[in-house]
Amino acid sequence: MSFLTHLECPRCLKHYAANEVHNLCACGSTLFARYDLKRARLTPPVPKSRAPDLWRYREVLPVENDGSIISLGEGFTPLFHARRLGDRLGLPNLYLKDESQNPTGSFKARGMAVAVSKAHELGIRRLAAPSAGNAGGALAAYSAKAGMEATIFMPEGTPLANRLECALHGAKTTLVAGSIKECGRVMRESLAGGDWFDLSTLREPYRLEGKKTMAYEVFEQLDGRLPDAMIYPTGGGTGLIGMWKAFDEMQELGWIGERRPRMFSVQAQGCAPMVRAFATGTEVAEEWKNPATLASGLRVPAAIGDFLILRAVRSSRGAALAVSDADMLRAVREIAETEGLITSPEGGATLVALKKLLADGFLGGHESVVLFLTATGYKYTEALEQLV
């Protein structure tokens, strides 16, 4: 059962009822789901009798009735010890979290599974979101499973595989000139006055809850410990924010102490608002004008959770850094050649960032490091064709 108690704004700390439909806080911030963790008593190790999916952490997920869960088997993706790649880098404790093995081929399945399930429980039947690709496909899949209606607004340059995925699941898809930011604007104008619920990144509380389960899984998969560093490709940043939230929950549950992994946020050189804000010391990230990168998941010019991303990176003694598209693609090939995984350009970006961190002395080589390979490369054939 869920031990959800209320929703809370991480900026102004205002509370909202958990059994009501909410998007943002009145102050404009995203909302966090909060739980009675003392009553939850979720202790490691999680019982082996539980299914190997993200719903094994049922007590700290927001869906209250089992009958409301819409699942395709998402979560508990493999954490591979990357020995060959680690040997090349002089990093014996390197791990790859392979999110491509989620049902829709990316980590977006986690967030959409929980968000669609909670929407279903709250009586919502029509869902909408802007998407640069994988989130739209995941929304379409889970909406189809639930018998709900979905409409998705995508940039014109969205990879064909993502567009086909939405169409095959029966979602209405509209292509928009410009970035995901323009998609969000067009969506809100087009659906104004209707009974659509906005599932945009961090504009509702529950996609974050699905993404946070990556942290719980890594802890289990590393036999009851967290790594020294996590390197995460950051567009909207839901996964990074979610995992940072999970660490606080895990501490209150008694799983861990005060130590946290160092969090490293990776963006593309052609769209790096977090990197710029980190470098200048600001608490919010100004919109990046004319974003350009072949990594569609990183083509996010402004993130509503910017202050939360920057807070996590700074609090953990991490950093935000940008990498080039060309280097991302070379890293995709290197991961494939050494570890047998064909990841997306966003996944390749994490390896480029790791090399920079080692070269610059941010990491010394003795640490345990997890790279998040957030999606399969098979959806990016147009981009990866440059490698052959």
Q: Does any domain span residue 334?
A: yes
- pLDDT at position 385, please? 87
Instruction: Give me the pLDDT at residue 18, please.
Output: 93
Q: Is residue 191 part of a domain?
A: no
List Cβ<8 Å contacts ≥24 apart for 176-182. Answer: 176/130, 179/132, 179/155, 179/291, 179/299, 179/300, 179/301, 180/130, 180/131, 180/132, 180/155, 180/299, 180/300, 180/301, 181/287, 181/300, 181/301, 181/302, 182/155
Residue 120 φ/ψ, nearest 5 degrees: -60, -45
Residue 138 lies in a domain: no
- Tens digits of residue pLDDT in 147-172: 999 999 999 989 899 999 999 999 99
pLDDT tens-digit profile of 200-247? Answer: 999 999 999 999 999 999 999 999 999 999 999 999 999 999 999 999
Structural domain contains residue 113: no
Q: Would you say residue 225 lies in a domain?
A: yes
Task: Write the CA distances from 68 to 14, 61, 73, 169, 189, integer angstroms.
Answer: 27, 12, 15, 20, 30
CB 323 within 8 A of CB 353: yes
Which structural domain, as residue segments, surrounds residue 247?
79-106+205-387
Q: Residue 386: its pLDDT value, please?
A: 84
Segments in the chain below pLDDT 70? none
With respect to residue 250, please indicate whether it lies within any of the assigned structural domains: yes
Tally the domains of the chain.
1
Residue range 264-295, pLDDT digits in tens: 999 999 999 999 999 999 999 999 999 999 99
Residue 346 belongs to some domain of the structure: yes
> Which residues, at least 6 apart from 142, have a Cβ–Cβ distance to it below 8 Å?
70, 72, 109, 112, 113, 116, 117
CATH at 311? 3.40.50.1100
Q: What is the pLDDT of residue 382?
A: 86
Q: Does 219 fall in a domain? A: yes
Q: Looking at residue 68, what is its pLDDT?
A: 97
